[in-house]
Amino acid sequence: MLTPTIPIAPLADLVALRESWRACGLRLVLTNGVFDLLHAGHVGYLQQARALGDLLVVALNSDASVRAIKGPLRPLSPEGDRAALLVALRCVDYVTIFAQPTAEAVVGALRPEIYVKGGDYALGAGGPPDLARLPEARAVLAYGGVVRLLPYAAGRSTSELIRLIVSRYG
């Protein structure tokens, strides 16, 4: 199987590898997000995602897309640092950085067998994906892929960490 020399790869490199993964019978799992201030909730989520398939690709929001989504004070860590932390995790095989507001183009290009997001994207507790908030899920379902929502780790979020740091250190 062909592999890039660096696990932080442009989408085009991963697309080029995708057919070899399929030919080997490997199931691709894809997730996406900001992953600012990597914490135990992220790690558990990524480990669960990786357990669903043979390869885990994380599509990481670029700094510009994070600012567009979260506001001018984010991200706290630049995209290169966030990507380096993600690929240091044993459960993450590749990271690709994308600049769009959503990862629909990444989904369309890689067509993962399984697309994973947190349970906070469900319609109600334990419900199906909220397709209005998760356009990537619409794309996955359109080609027959599987969308899995993993349980949300209550009390473990970057926003909560930021609030705690501000409250303690002003």
Each domain of the chain, given as residue ranges in start order, spans: 11-169
Q: For 26-69, what is each residue's pLDDT tens digit? A: 999 999 999 999 999 999 999 999 999 999 999 999 999 999 99
Q: For 109-150, what is each residue's pLDDT tens digit? A: 999 999 999 888 888 777 888 888 899 999 999 999 999 999
Which residues sit opposite 20 in a β-bridge? none
pLDDT at 2 over 70: no
* CATH homologous superfamily of 11-169: HUPs (3.40.50.620)
pLDDT at 151 over 70: yes
Are 93 and 110 in contact by the 8 Å Cβ rule? The answer is no
Cα–Cα distance, 169 to 42 (Å, whole number) = 24
- Report the predicted TM-score, pTM, of the whole model to 2 decimal places: 0.91
